[in-house]
Each structure stands twice: as C-alpha cells, then as structure tokens.
C-alpha cells in the first residue's frame, strides 16, 4: 500500500483531536511529513508528539515542499481558498476541512482553476462517511414514497467534550495583528453573502451555517438529492439557532440547529414514508469512535417493528481518511469534492435570503 506524505496547515482543535491521531493510527497509509501553524507553541507541540513531522515557517513553504504529497488544509475558513489555490499550483492532493470556502464566488474561482486537475481534492464532510449513514442508504424508502424528513443539530460546541477527554492546547502566542487581519478578512467574505449592513445575528447565523450546518446540509443532499428550493428560514437566540424548511416537491425536510452551553450532543437525520422510518443518530465527533446508530422502523401486523443497527463503532474520520487514500491511489473522484460543496454554499446563501425576508431585512 502506498504511503502518502502529509503536510498539515493549521494545528488547532480538529487537527489535535482528530486528524493527527488518525493519521498516526493509519501508519500503513500516511506519514506526517510536515506541519505549520501561526502559533509557535502548536508547532512545537506537534513536532514533539509526531517525530516525523518537520516544522515549516510558512504555509507556502510546506505546500511547495517536494517532501509533501498531500496537503491538509485545516486552517481558518477565510484562508481556505488561498491555500487550496497554492496547493493546486504545487500539484498536491488536498484534504480540505469544511466549509470548502465561505462564498460561492471563491469556490467558483477554484472550480475554474481545477477543471482538468489530475490530483484528488477531497472536502472533509465526515458525517457522510459514518457507518450508520452508509448503511442508511440501503434502507431508505424509494424517493417517490418519502413523505417527510427532518434533521436535528441540538448540540454544544466541541470544547465542552474535549476539555473532559483530551488535553487540547489553545494557544496564546498568535500575533494579534494576524488574528485581527483574519477576523477582518472573514467578516468581509461573510458580508459578500449576508450584505454589507447585515445585523450581527445574521452574521452569526451564516457562520453557524458554514461551521455547523454544512455537515448536515451535505448529508441531507447525499441521502435525498437536491431540494427544489428553500421554503423558509428563521434565526433566533442571536443567530445561534436556525430553523430551515427545504422543499423537495412532494415532501419537506425540516432542519433545526440549536447551540447551547449544556454540554450535550443530539444529532439526527430521519426519513419517513407512510410505512417506514429510517433514523441516523450521531454522537459528538470530538470523541473518537463514539458509536453511530441506525434505526429502521416499519409497520407490522402487531404494530411498529424496529430494527437497530449498532452501536456502530467505526470512526467516521478514520473512514473518511481511508476513502481519501483510496481516491488518491485509484485516481477516482470523491463524492465530497469542490463541485459538491458549491451546492451547499448556494443553499446557505438561499437560506440567508429567506432569513432576510422573515426578519424584514
């Protein structure tokens, strides 16, 4: 099996808790060849824990290194387009954490750049690679028989789980001017979508869509196909909570995202027909290998009968990297590529427009 040399740009929460440990576990597929972050302490920590990792002073130096075959873009969302462009120009394989970009404009520019690109570009929508999700595809009713779908993200942020399970380093040595510049660039990109004079709660709602909801919007599309339109969208709790209704023609899919400080995680996708219910249940991804579950309920002569698949302990992130490796070695096309991610961003922009209508602006 070919061993791919990986360079990681960005060593924050998800890199420390997920990507670096998974890469190390899959030592027959990957070697951690290089790391870069704007925090010197994160670079020092990573090179001390992963001895094959060479520290690079800049992202560009890592991306252009002949010792790196694949670049993992794990940096802040506002930098994704720039680093993907550099990795394409350097002819590297790319794993890009979601969201692929913050705007449709950025992703269209990348799509134009990569029309004939021979290397693999893989967007990290790990929920689409969870065992319960993959099993659900064989259990769904025929699309013509679906009567309703609903999706929940009722959760707390990852730090609530990580602080009890892992010793994640949250650095304090990043140059404040870099943080300020990044915040300005992120806000400028978001305002391309929400509007130059958008209120703070609409800004926060869009950040939530790109950061959290992108997982389940992508998963919904992977199961059900493309919605006809966004029927309605509303935001509450300062933009932290979002409710969206997607129009699938003969049925609707209702999505709710609620973020609180309780330290709970409740994520689910449910698809119904008149005689069948298929439900995928996720736990927090920040604790590796927590099980996913699939419940299939059908009408029976004595009442509803439920078949339960799981708990399924296969790790979605591990599956994701195994599939990424397979695409690299086989030269096959990922399901979660840039073109697929563009559909998510277009839907998010449409959600924002419906929110504006609901709120009167």
Tokens of residue 37, six digits: 């972050």
Domains in the chain: ranges and CATH: 4-125+320-333 (3.40.50.720), 128-314+343-359 (3.30.360.10)
pLDDT in tens, 256-296: 999 988 888 999 999 999 999 999 999 988 888 889 999 99
Report whether 324 contacts 332 (CB < 8 A): no
Query: What does the pLDDT read at residue 359?
Result: 66
Query: What does the pLDDT read at residue 156?
Result: 84
Q: What is the pTM of this model?
A: 0.94
Report whether 22 contacts 88 (CB < 8 A): no
The rounded distance, in Å, linking the Cα atoms of 313 and 318 is 11
> Which is nearest to 259 in space by CA: 341, 152, 170?
152
pLDDT in tens, 203-227: 999 999 999 999 999 999 999 999 9
Centre a 10 Å sphere on the Cβ of residue 62 and count the other Cβ atoms it contains: 26
Handedness of CA 152, 157, 162, 165 (dihedral sign): negative
Handedness of CA 28, 30, 32, 38 (dihedral sign): negative
Q: Mark the ranges of the chain whose per-residue pLDDT is less than 50.
A: 361
Query: What does the pLDDT read at residue 160?
Result: 79
Rounded (10°) CA dihedral 186, 126, 341, 182: 10
Query: What does the pLDDT read at residue 147?
Result: 98
The rounded distance, in Å, linking the Cα atoms of 327 and 232 is 37
């Amino acid at each position: 099996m070919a061993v791919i040399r990986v360079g990681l740009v960005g060593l924050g929460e998800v890199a420390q808790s997920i990507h670096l440990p998974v890469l190390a576990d899959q030592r027959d597929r990957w070697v951690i060849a290089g790391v870069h972050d704007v925090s010197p302490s994160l670079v020092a920590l990573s090179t001390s824990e992963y001895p094959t990792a060479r520290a690079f002073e800049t992202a560009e130096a890592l991306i252009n290194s002949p010792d790196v075959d694949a670049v993992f873009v794990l940096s802040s969302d506002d930098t994704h387009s720039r680093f993907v462009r550099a990795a394409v120009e350097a002819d590297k394989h790319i794993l890009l954490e979601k969201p692929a970009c913050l705007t449709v404009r950025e992703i269209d520019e990348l799509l134009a750049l990569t029309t004939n690109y021979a290397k693999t570009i893989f967007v990290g929508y790990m929920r689409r690679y969870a065992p319960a999700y993959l099993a659900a595809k064989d259990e769904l009713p025929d699309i013509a028989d679906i009567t309703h779908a609903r999706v929940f993200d009722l959760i707390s942020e990852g730090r609530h789980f990580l602080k009890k399970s892992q010793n994640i380093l949250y650095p304090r040595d990043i140059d404040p001017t870099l943080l300020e510049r990044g915040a300005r660039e992120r806000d400028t990109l978001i305002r391309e979508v929400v509007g130059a004079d958008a209120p703070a709660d609409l800004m926060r709602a869009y950040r939530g869509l790109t950061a959290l909801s992108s997982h389940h919007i992508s998963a919904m599309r992977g199961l059900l196909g493309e919605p006809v339109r966004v029927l309605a969208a509303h935001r509450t709790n300062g933009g932290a909570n979002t409710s969206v209704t997607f129009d699938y023609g003969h049925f609707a899919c209702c999505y709710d995202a609620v973020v609180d400080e309780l330290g709970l995680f409740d994520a689910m996708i449910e698809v119904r027909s008149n005689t069948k219910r298929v439900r995928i249940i996720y736990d927090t991804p920040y604790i590796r290998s927590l099980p996913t579950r699939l419940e299939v309920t059908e009408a029976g002569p004595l009442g509803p009968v439920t078949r339960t698949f799981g708990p399924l302990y296969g790790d979605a992130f591990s599956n994701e990297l195994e599939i990424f490796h397979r695409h690299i070695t086989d030269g096959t096309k990922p399901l979660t590529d840039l073109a697929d991610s563009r559909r998510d961003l277009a839907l998010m922009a449409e959600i924002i427009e419906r929110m504006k209508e609901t709120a009167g602006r």
